[in-house]
């Protein structure tokens, strides 16, 4: 067992960080975890996963996540919080959800979900799987000491590492191999968190530190539970880029691929920045 409680007989620190306790159907209790701390408060990806966890453990859940939208409505303080999931509508094969996270009686974050029972249909891939060097050929980047969560991911940057003085800064694109540290079998929860593990694009496009914060994050899940489980703890290829920066906000879009070229999830967010 290492410092982060990872061996075959104990829970992965990610599962501890997203854990919710309490009786089904009532407000559940959660707690921020120092290992997934950010510069201020918790890493947004682990909050996204925690809100999804309220749906995943709900006894009336129908199917698996198809989409998730998270609003980071206010700073979340380190410590405890409560989470309440509400089924907005249940159809034959799809279900719509709203989940709220409260601190001191106020909504600090909330999320909406679509879950669905998926069945095989015609399929096609329109996005192109990027040709990049394999993960083993790239050294993992050093984590950022002030942001504990960065040590919980192994990140091997193909290009677009943040806060580097680039030869050219006309692109906000990053491509990287990423996985949980220590390794953890992939599922919807860890994939939801990983979709928020891209550094804000402004730090790639403009190598200057400014206060930023994700305001809202939407992820679409293309893979099913079996496909994710089959990937184990293998690294995923993440690709992220921004489209437009201006008047205090920018948007960024990301793709998450398996090494075999399956598009597992696509994710979009709008981020506040100062200056």
Chain residues in the site for a second copy (CB under 8 A): 66-67, 69, 71, 73-74, 88-89, 91, 93-94, 96, 98, 100, 106-108, 110, 112, 114, 116, 118-127, 171-172, 201, 205-206, 215-216, 218, 220, 222, 224, 241-249, 251, 253, 255, 263, 266, 268, 270, 272-275
Four-residue CA torsion sign, 113, 119, 123, 129: positive
Nearer to a second copy, 46 or 242 (CB): 242
Quote the CA–CA distance of 214 and 240 in Å, as a whole number: 14
Burial label for 171, CB within 10 Å (0-12, 13-18, 19+), is: middle
Quote the CA–CA distance of 123 and 106 in Å, as a whole number: 43
Nearer to a second copy, 34 or 248 (CB): 248
CB of 71 to a second copy, least distance (A): 5
CB of 136 to a second copy, least distance (A): 27
Nearer to a second copy, 69 or 150 (CB): 69
Contact 43, 36 (CB under 8 A): yes
Nearer to a second copy, 151 or 212 (CB): 212
CB of 77 to a second copy, least distance (A): 14
Nearer to a second copy, 149 or 257 (CB): 257
CB of 247 to a second copy, least distance (A): 4
Q: Which residues pair with 21 in a beta bridge?
A: 29
Four-residue CA torsion sign, 99, 88, 113, 63: positive
Nearer to a second copy, 184 or 241 (CB): 241
Nearer to a second copy, 62 or 151 (CB): 62
The contacts of residue 218 (CB under 8 Å, 6+ apart) are 67, 68, 69, 70, 267, 268, 269
Quote the CA–CA distance of 106 and 26 in Å, as a whole number: 17
Q: Which helix (H) or strand (E) holds 159?
A: strand 153-159
Taking phi first (over 0 means left), then psi (-120 to 50 degrees means alpha), and beta for anything else, what does residue 193 get?
alpha
CB of 121 to a second copy, least distance (A): 5
Count other Cβ atoms within 10 Å, centred on residue 218. Answer: 17
CB of 123 to a second copy, least distance (A): 3
CB of 10 to a second copy, least distance (A): 34
């Amino acid at each position: 067992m290492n410092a982060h409680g990872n061996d075959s007989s104990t829970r992965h620190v990610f599962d501890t960080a997203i854990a919710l306790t309490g009786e089904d159907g009532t407000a559940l209790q959660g707690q921020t975890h120092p290992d997934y701390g950010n510069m201020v408060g918790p890493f947004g990806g682990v909050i996204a996963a925690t809100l999804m966890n309220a749906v995943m453990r709900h006894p009336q859940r129908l199917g698996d996540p198809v989409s998730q939208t998270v609003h980071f409505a206010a700073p979340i303080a380190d410590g405890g919080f409560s989470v309440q999931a509400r089924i907005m509508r249940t159809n034959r094969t799809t279900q719509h959800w709203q989940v709220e996270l409260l601190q001191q009686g106020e909504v600090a974050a909330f999320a909406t979900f679509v879950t669905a029972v998926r069945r095989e249909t015609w399929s096609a891939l329109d996005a192109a799987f990027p040709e990049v060097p394999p993960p083993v050929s790239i050294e993992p980047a050093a984590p950022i000491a002030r942001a504990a969560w960065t040590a919980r991911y192994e990140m091997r940057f193909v290009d677009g590492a943040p806060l580097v003085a680039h030869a050219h800064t006309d692109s906000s694109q990053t491509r990287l191999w990423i996985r949980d540290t220590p390794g953890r079998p992939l599922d919807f929860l860890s994939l939801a968190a990983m979709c928020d593990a891209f550094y804000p694009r402004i730090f790639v496009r403009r190598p200057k530190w400014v206060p930023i914060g994700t305001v809202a994050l939407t992820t679409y899940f293309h893979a099913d539970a079996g496909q994710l489980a089959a990937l184990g703890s293998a690294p995923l290829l993440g690709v992220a880029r921004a489209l437009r920066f201006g008047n205090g906000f920018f948007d960024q879009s990301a793709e998450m691929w398996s090494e075999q070229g399956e598009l597992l999830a696509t994710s979009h967010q709008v981020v506040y920045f100062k200056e």
